[in-house]
Amino acid sequence: MGVINLTPDSFSDGGSYSTPDAAWAQIDKLILHGAEIIDIGAESTRPGALPVPPAVQIDRLGPILTRFKHRYSVGLSVDTTSSAVAEFALQFGTDIINDISALRFEPELAGHIANWDAIVVLNHSRATPETMQSQPHYDDVVSEILSELTQSITLARAAGINKIIVDPGIGFGKTLDNNLETLRHLRRFETLGYPIMVGTSRKSFIAKITGETDTSRLAGTISSTLWAINNGARVLRVHDVEEVSKAVNVWQRING
């Protein structure tokens, strides 16, 4: 899953693809290098980010979503917590709604996804992007994420959603130790019975280990992504598709 943010303030690529021409060029590149799904966001969910009104998100997404399925055959994912944005996106053939709140913010979002028989990514987080990194606390991080994702799965299933991906939410309301513990026990999420998605790409926990000051964090992205796929992840959400695809190809060949 290749990431592209149509935002001025995303933590890694904010402002880089805020014009349609720049966005199309990057999407072309991601697909050329092996992305099987493109995940498009119009609202930053980095720690400290403020909410973006649905109308603004729709305005950012419109030039891309209205033409995406005419240009490409790969999967299309929209990263949003808004039911209004999701409803707009789904009418243009969006396959996946990637909800970092796992239906906490707008439970009615589940009904829109079910009506279009789309896939939902239930991404674990706590609080809101603005506040989620303000002293996050867990007594047993993996057990608590499992419990909270189970609640979201129940809500999704009750709304009629049949296609679910779970994401333990690396970096979303978690300390460095929380993130490492979650990755260390990633296979426990297989008990939920749905494919696991992991997004460690360029996240700040990597810099806390490596001491890097920029946001590329490529070596840490590759190593954590390979750890994830070796421990049950089936969808890898990354910015650097070319480099990660090559690394995954080598891993797959070694693994037979």
Beta bridge partners of 4: 40
Which listed residue (104, 126, 174, 203) is catalytic? Answer: 203
Question: Is-catalytic flag, 203?
Answer: yes
CA distance 3 to 195: 19
Q: What stretches of the chain show up as alpha helix (H) in DSSP?
A: 20-32, 54-71, 83-90, 109-115, 141-159, 176-184, 204-210, 218-230, 241-255
Q: What residues contact residue 113 under an 8 Å CB cut-off, 6+ apart?
A: 86, 90, 97, 119, 120, 156, 159, 161
49-57: long-range contacts, CB 8 A cutoff, minimum separation 24? 49/9, 49/129, 49/130, 50/129, 50/130, 51/128, 51/129, 51/130, 52/7, 54/82, 54/84, 54/85, 57/82, 57/85
Question: Is-catalytic flag, 217?
Answer: no
Active site residues: 203, 237
